[in-house]
Amino acid sequence: MIIDAHTHILGLAADPAFTAEYGREGSLCIYRAQGKLPSHRMPTEAEYGACGLSHDGFLEIGPSEMIAGHPGFDRIVLLAMSPQFLDGRLIGTVDNLGVTSVPGPPTPEKCNDYIADVQGQHPDTFIGFASVNPNYKGVKAAVAELERAVTELGLQGLKLYPMYQHWSPADPILSFPIFEKAAELDIPVLVHQAGSTRVDARMDFARPALLDDIGRNFPSVRLLIAHCGTPWVEEAMFMCTKHPNFFAELSYHISTVTTEELYRWLLHLEQMFVPLEKVVFGSDYPGFTYDPVHLRDKVLSVNEVARKLDMPEIPQAKLDGILGDNFARIMRLID
Ligand SMILES: [Zn+2]
């Protein structure tokens, strides 16, 4: 079973132009590092256009584009983005395309309704994850929304964005009640516990080690650390071996390494006592430079590197686990 455990769908604000702008800014670091955009100031429209970023990046896409972007994949996880303010603007998942039947004007307050609606359109393909923000209308409202999203809307997991929403996962008041509810609902939680190049995001709330209290207080919660904790990959992987129910999701990290580096990293994981069953494939589609097929093929080709270097191969069953079976087990789709 091949699963992409990390994707985003629909828009990120009621203003569609903002979604494109947000994606473009998120991609700035990539193009700056490649020398395609100036590193000392914001690019002009012409400079953006010259590297193909006039409307690329975090595109506003619907269910059919999502499926078309994932040939050969069995399941795709759609992550809601809960409401938050960015530069005074309310952002979060909205349906500007009109592909859902959620009534009323587009608003991030209905992020979970939109994702549930899209999940319902292709229930055999999409797995919808809810999102809540305890810093938006308080933790009580966030907990109530999580309960509604799972018991009434049928969403199957939770995505959290602590650093973007300026709260710490180690905060007993803002964070613990959410994990307590996740434990009660028996749903997995994917946490963006990794860095961000967005100036507004708080790095002091981003470290994977901040999840330690969650692991100790809520050991039954199946917790996935998004992006393998980049740039704290070693720290995130150590958390995975410390806490039996912690896992790491590959997006972002996989885009920053070559196939050879990925191969050596997988070997290294076993040496640092992290079973490969802890790793799950994700792409962050459409938010990263490589498409899901390219990234999947990168995982599948690590043993070509092994053979070239005359080093031990990674067993195919372990690679199949990373590409979907490990996540299917977390979701209890398989034993
Ligand atoms: Zn993402």
Q: How far does residue 305's CA lie from ligand 1's centre (Å)?
A: 29
Q: How far does residue 79's CA lie from ligand 1's centre (Å)?
A: 8
Q: Which residues hold their Cβ within 5 A of ligand 1, which is an ion? A: 284
Q: How far does residue 312's CA lie from ligand 1's centre (Å)?
A: 33
Average pLDDT of the segment spanning 109-135: 98
For 3-11+61-330, CATH number?
3.20.20.140
Contact by Cβ (8 Å): 252, 292: no
Q: How far does residue 7's CA lie from ligand 1's centre (Å)?
A: 6
Q: Rg of the chain over CA atoms, in angstroms? A: 19
Contact by Cβ (8 Å): 10, 62: yes
Q: How far does residue 284's CA lie from ligand 1's centre (Å)?
A: 5
Q: How far does residue 198's CA lie from ligand 1's centre (Å)?
A: 13
Q: How far does residue 165's CA lie from ligand 1's centre (Å)?
A: 14
Q: pLDDT tens for residues 164-223?
A: 999 999 999 999 999 999 999 999 999 999 999 888 899 999 999 999 999 999 999 999
- 112/129 Cα distance (integer angstroms): 8
- 287/277 Cα distance (integer angstroms): 25
> 42: pLDDT confidence band, cut at 50, 70 and 90?
confident
- 133/143 Cα distance (integer angstroms): 9
Task: Starting at the earlier edge strand, list the strands of the sheet with 75-79.
Answer: 3-7, 75-79, 126-131, 157-160, 189-191, 223-225, 246-249, 279-280
Helix, coil or strand: residue 234: helix
> 58: pLDDT confidence band, cut at 50, 70 and 90?
low
Residue 25 pLDDT:
76
> 91: pLDDT confidence band, cut at 50, 70 and 90?
very high
Whether the pLDDT of residue 55 is over 90: the answer is no
Q: What is the mean pLDDT of the chain?
A: 93
Closest to 280 measured CA to CA, from 296, 294, 264: 296
Q: How far does residue 88's CA lie from ligand 1's centre (Å)?
A: 22
> 288: pLDDT confidence band, cut at 50, 70 and 90?
low
> 79: pLDDT confidence band, cut at 50, 70 and 90?
very high
Q: How far does residue 237's CA lie from ligand 1's centre (Å)?
A: 19
Helix, coil or strand: residue 12: strand
Alpha-carbon distance values, 196 to 29, 161, 178 (Å): 10, 11, 23
Q: How far does residue 283's CA lie from ligand 1's centre (Å)?
A: 8
Please return the burial class of 165, using the count of CB atoms within 10 Å of its CB with bins 0-12, 13-18 and 19+.
buried
- In this structure, the number of other CB atoms found within 10 A of the CB of residue 308 comes to 10
Residue 289 pLDDT:
63
Q: How far does residue 23's CA lie from ligand 1's centre (Å)?
A: 11
> 314: pLDDT confidence band, cut at 50, 70 and 90?
very high
Q: pLDDT tens for residues 239-253?
A: 999 999 999 999 999
The pair of three-digit structure tokens given for residue 17, joined into one six-digit string: 């132009």
Q: How far does residue 71's CA lie from ligand 1's centre (Å)?
A: 20
> 71: pLDDT confidence band, cut at 50, 70 and 90?
very high
Q: How far does residue 310's CA lie from ligand 1's centre (Å)?
A: 36
Query: Which residues, 6 or more positions from 283, have their beta carbon under 8 angstroms from its beta carbon?
Result: 4, 6, 7, 251, 290, 291, 292, 295
Helix, coil or strand: residue 154: coil
Q: How far does residue 16's CA lie from ligand 1's centre (Å)?
A: 18
Q: pLDDT tens for residues 125-159?
A: 999 999 999 999 999 999 999 999 999 999 999 99
Bridge partners (DSSP) listed for residue 157: 129
Query: Which residues, 6 or more positions from 263, have their beta carbon under 8 angstroms from its beta carbon?
Result: 302, 303, 305, 306, 314
Contact by Cβ (8 Å): 125, 66: no
